Amino acid sequence: MTLDLSIDHALIKARAYAKKGEFKEAQTLYHAILSNFPNNKRAKQGLADLNKFKKKSGQNFVNEEIQKLLDLFNKGQFLLVLKQAQTLSKQYPQEFIIWNIMGAAYASLKEFNNAVIALEKVIELNPNYVDAYYNIGVVLNDQGKIQEAIEAYKKCISLFPNYPDAYVNLGLALRAQGNIENSIEAFLKALELKPDHPEALFNIGISLKGTFFTKPHPNLQKVISTLIDKKTYVRPNDIIKASISLLKFEPQLNTHLDKEDLSSSDFNHQEIIKDLSKLPLLLKLMSVCPISDIHLEKLLEKIRTKLLMSINASVHTFEELKFQSALALQCHINEYIYKQSDDEKKALTNLEYLVKKALKNKNKPSPQIILCLASYKSLNDYEWSNLLKSTNEIKDVFTMQIEEPCQEASLIKKIPLLENITNKISKKVKEQYEVNPYPRWVNLKLRLKPVPISKIISEIQIKIFDNKIKDVKAPEILIAGCGTGQHSIGTATRFKDSKVLAVDLSLSSLGYAKRKTEELGVQNIDYMQADILDLPKLDKQFDIIESAGVIHHMDDPLKAWCILKDCLRSGGLMKIGLYSELARKHIVEIRKEISRAGQISNDLDMKSFRNMLLTSDKNHHKLILNSNDLYSMSTLKDLLFHVKEHRFTINQIQKSLSDLRLKFCGFEADTMTVSNFKLTNFGENDLYDLNKWEEYEQKNPRTFLGMYQFWCQKLS
């Protein structure tokens, strides 16, 4: 540019250009002035100011563009993010944040190799940027490269040791690798850094399932207590064995369990109660789920007897009252499965008479007596229960045994009936569950927050044949056989914006489910009394149907399954749970023994048969002792005395799916099962090959000891 203005006019024009942001024109003018007047101070200063301003404005521009990228990313517009990020990365190749966002967008689109390349660029530009290592770990984990993900998380932690989320993800990767002990340690480290970390607490609960400890861990006991207090972070039944294995290292418990003869005259129940009361985790567990350990059960049963037989002689302490309350809650939860002697029955009759007389005379029975009676029968079942008032000492027991059953009775009246139940087998099943709602529960595990169907599909690694199901934003879901609500509440809080209809044969179970649903503030479930056989009368189809542990108790499981299929929309998903013939061989043998005995027709007979199992030396009897279902009356009936039971092989499931024209999408199995299966099945589609699973189960017959739980899809 030729300088054709006076120096002053040129300087004024240059400043005007700069002010308008026309930096190139301003810079050209300043250079023109300096080419003619190299020592002009105003031009030199103007050029210096211009460079500073350009740098500042340029960074502001980059920051604004990065914020735009983040906004697009949060809206899920990943393709647009990539398009704009690629342009920006060429303009500002040193801006590592742009590459980080690009990596996250690639990962969200499942373009894992490109994601890793982008994130490695971040590390190249800024080797100390810990989030890059964290994000690489996430991507590698999603690719199934677990060991490489672990190394990335460890690198992240080495750079920034106080990163709780990195420890959580490290724990998840270790668990996926089958390294349960170290996964728990990683979650504990996250909690050490952030005591209220929800994902760390939640995942400790998952890792504890199936774990048995061989050394003490007092800090973990405190964490488990916190976990239980959260009420929706863990199903206590899932962690009871792990928790008891920890408690057995405590001298306050193991010294009493080691006694060979609990009936000896030197059995000092007050000293034992004093010791056990020092174990807050034990009392908490007694209050929320059946204690599924035969040695601990015998100890608790003996203490209950001693408390009854010495009720008027004991010097009652605060510790004893606290323990009595936990024991009464435990007995209610296990549905009074402990045996009784004739002496106990006489003592109970006398004690109940005294309470009835006291209440009639408007006197207040002692809390010790009330808690003692509540350990043998629900307070709601005593004819004088309406005269009883709650006090601080009996508050928890009063709530569980009087107030909650009253709530359920009131809620039952509002539950609609689809059709009178007429099928012979359905009526028998209904009768069983009216007497014993299955199962009684206090806490359960719910997702920390609901997510879309597409997220669930990705998490549980099922294969989808019609992708339209992923686009359903507000799924309508049917739970066919919801029992006492664990299943329906779990599903309603799993799928985002879902609307759930939950049906069951038993009004008692439905009342329990409705009460727990309201207690937890879940508002997207409707309950109805109905037989699966009558569901066509709904004249409605659903996006998702779940029926776990139900149709194998029906007269014709395939007919029921066909009805469920007809209630499913085209492209919809169905989750089915069925008993395994192979895994339940020991149960089949026991059911044959029950059938041959012929006289088992009431709770007393069932308890007697159970007591025989507890002391038997037969191998198939010993196997049953490992089942949590042996430790409460409703689960015991469901396990061994159900009025109807069918079992399946994987080959039979495969044939049924073919007959129903449903596509197998995969098992929803625990992490360890999937990891073990993959050790010998490396193919990309092996998880969805029922022939592979059949071969695996033959070699590992206890794999599906609970049930087969699998997903299938209905196609047009």
H or E element at residue 499:
strand 499-504
User: Which residue is it, tokens 């499931």?
Assistant: 653
pTM over 0.85: yes
* Residue whose C-alpha is closest to residue 281's, from 228, 213, 333, 334: 228
> 265 pLDDT exceeds 70?
no
> 657 pLDDT exceeds 60?
yes
Q: What is the pLDDT of residues 229-248, one digit of tens each?
A: 999 999 999 999 999 999 99
User: Which residue is it, tokens 């709650």?
Assistant: 390
Phi, psi of 569 (to 5 degrees): -70, 155
Q: What is the pLDDT of residues 539-596, one digit of tens each?
A: 999 999 999 999 999 999 999 999 999 999 999 999 999 999 999 999 999 999 999 9
Q: What is the pLDDT of residues 301-327, one digit of tens each?
A: 999 999 999 987 666 788 899 999 999
Band of residue 659 on the pLDDT scale cut at 50, 70, 90: very high
Q: Where are the domains of the chain?
A: 250-412, 426-582+647-714, 585-640
Report DSSP state, residue 596: H
Answer CATH for 426-582+647-714 from 3.40.50.150, 2.70.98.40, 3.60.15.10, 3.40.50.300: 3.40.50.150
Please return the burial class of 526, using the count of CB atoms within 10 Å of its CB with bins 0-12, 13-18 and 19+.
Answer: middle
Q: What is the predicted pLDDT for the residue at 264?
A: 61
Dist CA 179 CA 672 (whole Å): 9
Highest mean pLDDT among 3-12, 25-34, 593-602: 593-602
Output the six-digit token pair for 480.
């066919």
Q: What is the predicted pLDDT for the residue at 2?
A: 35
Q: Which range, of 60-64, 450-454, 515-519, 637-641, averages the lowest pLDDT?
A: 60-64
User: Which residue is it, tokens 């942001």?
Assistant: 21
> 206 pLDDT exceeds 90?
yes
Q: What is the predicted pLDDT for the residue at 67?
A: 83
DSSP letters spanning 71-123: HHHHTT-HHHHHHHHHHHHHHSTT-HHHHHHHHHHHHHTT-HHHHHHHHHHHH
Residue 207 in contact with residue 186, Cβ under 8 Å? no
Residue 59: helix, strand or coil by DSSP?
Answer: helix
- CA 456 to chain CA centroid, nearest Å: 13
Sequence letter at residue 74 = N
Residue 72 in contact with residue 84, Cβ under 8 Å? yes
Q: Is the dihedral angle over the CA atoms 357, 360, 364, 365 positive or is it negative?
A: positive
Dist CA 437 CA 508 (whole Å): 6
Inter-helix orientation angle 603-615/633-640, to 10°: 80
Dist CA 47 CA 692 (whole Å): 74
Report DSSP state, residue 551: G
Q: Which range, of 41-50, 184-193, 369-378, averages the lowest pLDDT?
A: 41-50
pLDDT, mean over the chain: 91
* Residue whose C-alpha is closest to residue 378's, from 435, 431, 433: 435
